[in-house]
Amino acid sequence: MNNIKFSKRVNHGEVSIIREILRLTVDPNVISFAGGLPSPAGFPVQKIKEAYDKVLSENPYMALQYNSADGYIKLREWVVDYMASKGAQIKPSNVLIVSGSQQALDLVSKVFLDEGSKILVEAPSYLGALQCFDQYFPKYETIETDDHGLIPESITESNAKDARFLYALPNFHNPTGRTLSVERRISLLEKCKSLNVPIIEDDPYGELIYHGESLPGLYALSQKHGGTVIRLGSFSKVLSPGMRIGYIVADEKIINALVELKQATDLHTSVITQMAVYETIKDNFLDEHLPKVREIYRNQCNYMLESLEENFKDIDAKWTKPEGGMFIWMTLPPEFNTLDLLTPTIRDYKVAYVPGSAFYVASDPVHVKHNELRLSFVTVAEDKIRKGVEQLAQSIKNAKR
């Protein structure tokens, strides 16, 4: 075994903070605000079961056979109609079905990145995307953010020169929960158009809105304001993450390149699952289902916000108040290091979170902040949210002494 040589990608990989947190939270007494899992209470189990039964009863041989790499045509047509409802006019040839939006990130990386390619990312940004991009050894340029999200003006001719793409999460951002305003969306499109930088619009949380009104997506806005946008969508948060179905919407030339690489990767996404997803959603089921899911998330978020207000009165901290999604972002005074605080908080107070430093580009220490943390409220019961926030506050108070 000693003479086995792994690839550069394997040797390059760092220990996953998420894996380490899961290892530390195997204790059932730990209240975990760390995971980014959707609530099982929002899984339409019976409807999905009926969909699989119907697929296997009415069209079993197609469901169990190989299929085209670009995806089940009826599901792609559903995406076309869905995008039309969001103000974007596309065709099925603009849609690729993938095995979750994580595969979408990987395929986009394969299409656009060579070793040393420049990409623009927000600070902070989605950890799973950064881990995916890292496998292709890019050069990162960090784009500044503030309490309102990405700052388009911080994209300059200098930092955008030769960039392959900009990666952004405009709706209920992971990890901060922030939402980019329409004005900033348009400004971002116009800036990237002028600098010839494509935008990867990752939108897994857009349908989880529980306050205010939905804002137009970057892809839809690009049809009016110009620019190149590649939109990543997912059924993980609206149906079930275990089904592993997502999609990419882009120009046909980009889709064709993605299809070629997907075919070499896995031939195609599970046909039976694509068909089951379509059977589940085809008759406007999401119009009935999503309000129930949003209510769950709204309540969970309110429990945590109320608990934070109650328990952090004497702590100089601030946090986001999301209008949708799954996350609250907390900022402590600069003398705190939430990575150092994590182990004693889990060990002594039985509460877990994700340190904010995990969401920054490791090779760009200038922008990394160590006094932030992400809290996920979705899968924790009300009584545990309240107890966990109380314990977290106590840990921080004691660490300050």
C-alpha 173/C-alpha 124 separation (Å) is 10
CA 325 from chain centre, in angstroms, equals 10
pLDDT above 70: percentage of residues in the chain: 96
pLDDT band at 35 (very low <50, low <70, confident <90, very high): confident
User: 247: helix, coil or strand?
Assistant: strand
pLDDT average, residue stretch 136-148: 95
Taking residues 245-274, what's their average pLDDT? 97
Single out the residue of 383, 372, 379, 371 nearest to residue 306, CA to CA. 383
* Residue 335 CA, distance from chain mean position: 29
Nearest to 378 by CA among 322, 317, 335: 322
**Per-residue buried b or exposed e for 212-224, using 16+ beta carbons within 10 Å of the residue's own CB:** eeebbbbbbbbee
Q: Which residue has the tokens 């395929």?
A: 107
Residue 249: strand pairing partners? 95, 231
Cα–Cα–Cα angle for 320, 211, 315, rounded to 5 degrees: 25
- The pLDDT score that the predictor gives to residue 8 is 82
Mean per-residue pLDDT for 106-130? 97
How far, in Å, CA of 392 to CA of 377, rounded? 14
Place of tokens 């902070």: 124
Residues 6 or more apart whose Cβ sits within 8 Å of residue 342: 21, 24, 352, 353, 355
pLDDT category of residue 355 using cuts at 50, 70 and 90 = very high
Is pLDDT at 22 greater than 80 in this prediction? Answer: no
Going by C-alpha positions, the residue among 127, 178, 124, 146 that lies closest to residue 372 is 124
Q: What is the pLDDT at residue 3? A: 80
For residues 182 and 117, what is the distance between their CA atoms, to the nearest angstrom? 29
Question: For the chain, which domains are there?
Answer: 8-44+287-400 (3.90.1150.10), 45-285 (3.40.640.10)
DSSP SS3 for 351: strand
Whole-angstrom Cα Rg for the chain: 21
pLDDT, average across residues 123-136: 94
Mean pLDDT for all residues in the chain = 94
Residue carrying structure tokens 């003479």:
3
Beta bridge partner(s), residue 209:
324
Query: CA-based angle 149:153:155, to the nearest 5?
Result: 95
Q: What is the mean pLDDT of residues 128-148?
A: 95
Contacting residues for 52 by C-beta, under 8 A, at least 6 apart = 272, 276
Expressed in angstroms, the distance from the first to the final Cα of the chain is 49
CA distance 145 to 207: 23
**Per the structure block, which two tokens stand in for 288?**
């009935």
pLDDT, position 13: 55
Quick check: 354 and 27 in contact, CB under 8 A? Answer: no
Of the candidates 174, 231, 207, the residue with the CA atom closest to the CA atom of residue 18 = 174
Packing angle, helices 338-349 and 382-400, rounded to 10: 120
**For the residues 179-207, what does the mean pLDDT come to?**
97
